[in-house]
C-alpha cells in the first residue's frame, strides 16, 4: 500500500515541507522543481505518477523559492548555494531513513543546480539516472558542468524556450551518456502557447520518452 507523508527538513534559511511517497521499494525518485514550476504542475506531476506506477518511492522537494523575497533578491552565487543546500539536506534526510539501490533524479530548470551538487558530491548518485527537464542550456558554464556528468541522462527542452541554445544542445548531443530530445515550438514549460491540444500531445511524448528511459 502506498503511503504519503510529510518530511520536514531545515534548508538554507527555511524549513522545507517535502512530500515522501512510500512504495516499499528499493528504488527512489527525487523531484527537484524550478522557481516558478512546482511539483504539482503537469510535467513533474505526471512524471512522478509514472514513476509511482513503476514502483519507485518518491521524494518531492518543496522549497517554494519564488515566495521568498531574500531568495529572489540574492545574487547568483547565493542562489546556487541556497538551492544546493535545500536539495542536499533533503536528500540526506531521506537517505538516512532508508537505503536504495536504484536512484532516479528528476530536475526542472534551475533545480538543476541542486542536481549537479548531489551528483558531484554523493557517491550513492554515481549510477543514478537523471532526467533534465528544460535545464538552463543558455548558460555556458552550466552546460560545461553537464558535459562533465557521466550519469545516463535524458534532456528535454523546447526550441521556443528562453533557455534553448542550439550550439550548447549540439555539444550535449555529442556525449554518449546523453539523450537530448527537443520539441519544436514549446516554451519553458514544454507547452505550445495557445495550443492546448498540442501541449497535451507534447506531454504524452514526454511521458513516452521517460518510460523508455526508465
Q: Please state the separation of Cα 6 from the chain's center in Å.
A: 20
- CA 149 distance to own-chain centroid: 15
Domains of the chain: 3-213 (3.40.50.1820)
pLDDT score of 17 more than 80: yes
CA distance 55 to 28: 9
Predicted local confidence at residue 130, as pLDDT: 98
Q: What is the pLDDT of residue 23?
A: 86
pLDDT exceeding 90 applies to what percent of the chain? 90
Pairing of strands 15-22, 57-60: antiparallel
The predicted-structure confidence for 172-198, as pLDDT tens digits, reads as follows 999 999 999 999 999 999 999 999 999
pLDDT score at 2: 85
At residue 93, does pLDDT exceed 80? yes
Average pLDDT over residues 16-45: 94
Position 123 scores a pLDDT of 74
Confidence check: pLDDT of 1 > 80: no
Residue 163 · residue 137 · CB < 8 Å? yes
For position 121, what pLDDT does the model report?
Answer: 82
pTM value is: 0.94
Amino acid at each position: 500500500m502506498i503511503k504519503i507523508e510529510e518530511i520536514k527538513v531545515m534548508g538554507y534559511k527555511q524549513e522545507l515541507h517535502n512530500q515522501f511517497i512510500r512504495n516499499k521499494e528499493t528504488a527512489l525518485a527525487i523531484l527537484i522543481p524550478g522557481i516558478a514550476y512546482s511539483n504539482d504542475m503537469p510535467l513533474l506531476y505526471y512524471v512522478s505518477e509514472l514513476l509511482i506506477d513503476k514502483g519507485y518511492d518518491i521524494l518531492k522537494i518543496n522549497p517554494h523559492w519564488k515566495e521568498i523575497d531574500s531568495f529572489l533578491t540574492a545574487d547568483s552565487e547565493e542562489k546556487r548555494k541556497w538551492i544546493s543546500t535545500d536539495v542536499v539536506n533533503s536528500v540526506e534526510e531521506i537517505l538516512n531513513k532508508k537505503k536504495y539501490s536504484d536512484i532516479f533524479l528528476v530536475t526542472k530548470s534551475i533545480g538543476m543546480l541542486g542536481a549537479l551538487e548531489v551528483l558531484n558530491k554523493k557517491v550513492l548518485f554515481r549510477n543514478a539516472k537523471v532526467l533534465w527537464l528544460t535545464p538552463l542550456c543558455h548558460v555556458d558554464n552550466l552546460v560545461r558542468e553537464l558535459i562533465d556528468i557521466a550519469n545516463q541522462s535524458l534532456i528535454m527542452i523546447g526550441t521556443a524556450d528562453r533557455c534553448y541554445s542550439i550550439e550548447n544542445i549540439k555539444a550535449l548531443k555529442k556525449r554518449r551518456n546523453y539523450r537530448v530530445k527537443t520539441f519544436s515550438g514549446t516554451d519553458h514549460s514544454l507547452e505550445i502557447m495557445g495550443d492546448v491540444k498540442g501541449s497535451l500531445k507534447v506531454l504524452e511524448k514526454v511521458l513516452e520518452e521517460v518510460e523508455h528511459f526508465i
